């Protein structure tokens, strides 16, 4: 593999890791506050559709992004009502949200655009274009540094940079702000937070809402930056890979970025090479597809350091005893 | 004291949830610009109006009985088996291996061994998540989700690289031999003088599914193992105090659950397609969740709910054929059923309990 191929694979790693990273951070906020969310997939899918639909009809990608976030927030609200207000089973709620999104997106798309459950292809104005860093063209031919700067770092859409900036931001919010302290506390011991006079319900709704916004951006990125328009089931399990990455990272932001980049790399390699030959052994493409899930099971099994979820995760909080 | 009578819990709550889901679905149909009443009529005509329609309804229902029972058995042990889809995929592999490589003299023997193979493969696929839950405390929901994706990759690999006949482009196994052809309801009922549609896929596995409902009922409510499963589901601490090993019961419950999900393959792989194709399960593993929730984890409830979902599936296909309503409407209905009977259960339950309490006070 020559240097340029390596750069291209890493470049596509960054692109493919971005939706995973956004969804992973979304899940991080929710699960750190004690709300399990296996509905990341559904929220992303809904946002992907509405962002593409609005971007296609208005020609404005920013309106599309807003619509995507709003639709994802609606589903997040539903998850909040079911799991916080009515103290329902958070896992079942997540399953329902995934199906709701899978069905509604195609249903609405078919009724709206009549193109077999997809949106029209987006033109340039309806998509997030690449951002070229200063001097990217000039330094292109400098060996080593040139391709890294102009191919790998420059030329992504604004949402990619946003996703990677969200990592230190999340770290700061979680470990350096009062809100973050309370958020983590509510996921570990909500009764203590309640005793301190802070609203458990308010905090959990805030976490679910942040999760909705981030899933919305992830979905919009899929439909308006990575691809040009919505197609049926376009999230293709990314919500679950993000969930896997979250466990892999043991619910921590920097590690989440590492896990998402690793899983993005696996996707990029699988996309480019199909079967990989390492000496006499041929690794079939299906192994690359399954590897994120296998790695997560290994981590969950506790063979490589134990993944301990937030203690109060999945438990509805009952105030009166 | 119970807040409300048992019949309200078993019948009224699922019924109200179903009405809520149906009402919202009607709004969706209205929004598309179609007439909900006409749509329901079309669904009933298409799914129940002919033996052809019934043949499809019962075919789908057979799948959902197996996956619904799988979810229900695990739920009795307090486990949420979301991996029915992967277990059913592996069950299909089991059926394919047994039907392709062994020359069976008669379908009855083949059916017996295919069911065993399907159950074995399904159980094996549930075994690792079960072990990790029981021994290492890894959350079964997450591991079974991961195993669904791994199953899809395994199946893809096996079909493309092992089972696909060299001359074929299609990622599917070779056709099974004539000897393992399962009789359809048409072939079963014709000797009795009952005319049943020739082209409908419902087959003898329907009887296997009904038998499975009975066996699960016996297991859960008439055996000590069933008692131990329910005890663990109600309280792990209580079960342990009674000398029940949570590790053992978790393993057994998940193995039974996986075997039931796997046995679905007898219907869809051996009975209908007669070869193994990619995505043979078509999401039936997930519908099992809705079926078990709707049926309140009781085998008879699962039986009824499976027929209801079979009706929705066949009716939905008819809608997609004759109106502008796409098939995905069924996915939306399924989501609403899961939402109302599962996640928003308290939304229906709390007001209902208040009403029953108010009535009781008046009566006193």
pLDDT of residue B193: 83
pLDDT of residue A321: 55
pLDDT of residue A175: 95
Which chain A residues are within 8 Å of B325, Cβ to Cβ?
107
User: Where are the domains positioned within chain B?
Assistant: 8-343
Question: How far, rounded to the nearest angstrom, does the alpha carbon of residue B271 sit from its chain's CA centroid?
Answer: 16
User: Where are the domains positioned within chain A?
Assistant: 3-128+136-236
Q: What are the tens digits of pLDDT across the range B189-224?
A: 888 888 888 888 999 999 999 999 999 999 999 999
Fold adopted by B8-343: ABC transporter involved in vitamin B12 uptake, BtuC (1.10.3470)
pLDDT of residue A304: 64
Contact state of A103 with B334 under an 8 Å Cβ cutoff: yes
Q: Is the pLDDT of residue A232 over 70?
A: yes
Of chain B, the percentage scoring pLDDT greater than 70 comes to 99
- Return the structure tokens found at B162: 């092992």
User: Distance (Å) from the C-alpha of residue A34 to the closest C-alpha of chain B?
Assistant: 15
**Mean pLDDT, rounded, of chain B:** 91
- Return the structure tokens found at A220: 């919009």
Give me Rg for the CA atoms of chain B. Answer: 21
Q: Distance of CA A62 to CAs A41, A125, A126, B198, Å?
A: 22, 10, 8, 55
Q: Are B276 and B172 in contact (CB under 8 A)?
A: yes
Mean pLDDT of A97-114: 92
Nearest CA to B201 among B41, B329, B63?
Answer: B63
Q: What are the tens digits of pLDDT across the range A302-320?
A: 776 667 788 888 788 887 6
Give the containing element (helix H, strand E) for A104.
helix A90-113
Q: Is the pLDDT of residue B81 over 60?
A: yes
pLDDT of residue B1: 47
Which ipTM score applies to this complex?
0.89
- The pTM for the full model equals 0.90
User: Distance (Å) from the C-alpha of residue A80 to the closest C-alpha of chain B?
Assistant: 11
How many contacts (CB atoms, under 8 Å) link A and B? 150
Mean pLDDT of A193-201: 92
**Spatial separation of the C-alpha atoms in residues B52 and B319, rounded to whole Å:** 16
Task: Name residues whose C-beta falls within 8 Å of residue B274's C-beta, 6 or more positions apart in sequence.
Answer: B175, B176, B180, B181
pLDDT of residue B135: 87
Is A282 strand, coil or helix? strand
Is B364 strand, coil or helix? coil
Nearest CA to A229 among A72, A51, A52?
Answer: A52
Residue reference for tokens 């419902």: B202
For residue A286, give the nearest of B31, B153, B328 by CB distance: B153
A 258-277 residues with CB < 8 A to B: none
Q: Are B294 and B14 in contact (CB under 8 A)?
A: yes
Contact state of B286 with A92 under an 8 Å Cβ cutoff: no
∠A103-A104-A105 over CA atoms, to 5°? 95
Mean pLDDT of A25-35: 95
∠B261-B13-B256 over CA atoms, to 5°? 20
If you measure CA to CA, which chain B residue comes closest to A37? B142
Q: Is the pLDDT of residue B267 over 90?
A: yes
**Mean pLDDT, rounded, of chain A:** 89
**Spatial separation of the C-alpha atoms in residues B339 and A94, rounded to whole Å:** 9
Q: Are A23 and A257 in contact (CB under 8 A)?
A: no
């Amino acid at each position: 593999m020559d240097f340029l191929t390596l750069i291209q694979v890493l470049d596509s790693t960054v692109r493919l890791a971005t939706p995973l990273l956004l969804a992973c951070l979304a899940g991080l906020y929710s699960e750190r506050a004690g709300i399990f969310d296996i509905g990341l997939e559904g929220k992303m899918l809904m946002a992907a559709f509405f962002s593409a639909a609005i971007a296609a009809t208005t020609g404005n990608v920013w309106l599309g992004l807003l619509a995507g976030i709003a639709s994802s927030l609606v589903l997040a609200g539903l998850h909040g009502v079911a799991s916080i207000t009515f103290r329902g089973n958070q896992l079942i709620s997540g399953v329902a949200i995934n199906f709701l999104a899978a069905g509604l997106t195609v249903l609405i798309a078919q009724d709206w655009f009549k193109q077999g459950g997809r949106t029209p292809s987006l033109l340039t104005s309806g998509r997030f274009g690449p951002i070229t860093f200063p001097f990217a063209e000039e330094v292109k031919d400098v060996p080593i540094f040139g391709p890294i700067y102009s191919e790998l770092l420059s030329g992504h859409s604004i949402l990619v940079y946003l996703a990677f900036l969200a990592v230190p931001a999340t770290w700061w919010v979680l470990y350096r702000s009062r809100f973050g302290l309370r958020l983590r506390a509510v996921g570990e011991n909500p009764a203590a937070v309640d005793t301190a006079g802070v609203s458990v319900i308010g905090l959990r709704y805030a976490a679910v809402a942040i999760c909705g916004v981030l899933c919305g951006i992830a979905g919009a990125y899929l439909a308006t930056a990575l691809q040009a328009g919505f197609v049926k089931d376009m999230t293709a399990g990314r919500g679950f890979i993000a969930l896997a990455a979250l466990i892999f990272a043991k619910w921590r932001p920097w590690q989440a970025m590492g896990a998402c980049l690793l899983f993005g790399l696996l996707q990029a390699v699988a996309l480019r090479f199909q079967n990989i030959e390492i000496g006499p052994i041929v690794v079939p493409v299906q192994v690359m597809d399954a590897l994120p899930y296998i790695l997560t099971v290994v981590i969950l099994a506790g063979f490589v350091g134990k993944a301990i979820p937030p203690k109060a995760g999945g438990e509805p909080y009952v105030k009166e005893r | 004291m119970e807040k409300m009578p048992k019949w309200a819990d078993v019948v009224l709550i699922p019924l109200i949830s179903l009405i809520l889901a149906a009402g919202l679905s009607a709004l969706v149909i209205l929004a598309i610009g179609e007439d909900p009443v006409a749509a329901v009529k079309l669904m009933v005509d298409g799914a129940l109006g002919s033996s052809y329609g019934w043949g499809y309804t019962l075919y789908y229902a057979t799948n959902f009985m197996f996956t619904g029972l799988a979810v229900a058995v695990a739920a009795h042990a307090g486990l949420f088996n979301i991996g029915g889809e992967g277990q059913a995929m592996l069950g299909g592999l089991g059926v394919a291996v047994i039907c392709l490589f062994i020359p069976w003299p008669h379908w009855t023997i083949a059916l017996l061994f295919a069911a065993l193979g399907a159950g074995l493969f399904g159980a094996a696929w549930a075994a690792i998540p079960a072990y990790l839950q029981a021994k290492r405390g890894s959350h079964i929901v997450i591991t079974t989700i991961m195993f669904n994706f791994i199953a899809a990759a395994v199946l893809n690999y096996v079909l493309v690289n092992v089972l696909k006949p060299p001359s074929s482009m299609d990622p599917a196994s070779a056709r099974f031999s004539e000897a393992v052809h399962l009789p359809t309801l048409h072939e079963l009922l014709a000797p009795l003088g009952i005319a049943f549609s020739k082209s409908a896929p419902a087959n003898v596995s329907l009887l296997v599914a009904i038998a499975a409902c009975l066996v699960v009922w016996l297991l859960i409510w008439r055996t000590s193992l069933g008692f131990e499963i329910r005890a663990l589901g109600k309280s792990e601490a209580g079960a342990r105090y009674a000398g029940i090993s949570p590790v053992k019961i978790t393993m057994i419950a998940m193995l039974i659950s996986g075997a039931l999900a796997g046995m679905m393959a007898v219907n869809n792989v051996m009975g209908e397609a007669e070869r193994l194709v990619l995505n043979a399960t078509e999401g039936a593993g997930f519908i099992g969740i809705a079926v078990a929730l709707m049926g309140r984890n009781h085998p008879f409830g699962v039986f009824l709910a499976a027929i209801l979902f079979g009706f929705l599936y066949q009716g939905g296909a008819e809608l997609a054929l004759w109106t502008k309503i796409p098939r995905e409407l069924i996915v939306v209905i399924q989501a609403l059923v899961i939402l109302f009977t599962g996640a928003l259960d308290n939304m229906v339950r709390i007001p209902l309990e208040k009403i029953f309490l108010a009535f009781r006070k008046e009566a006193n």
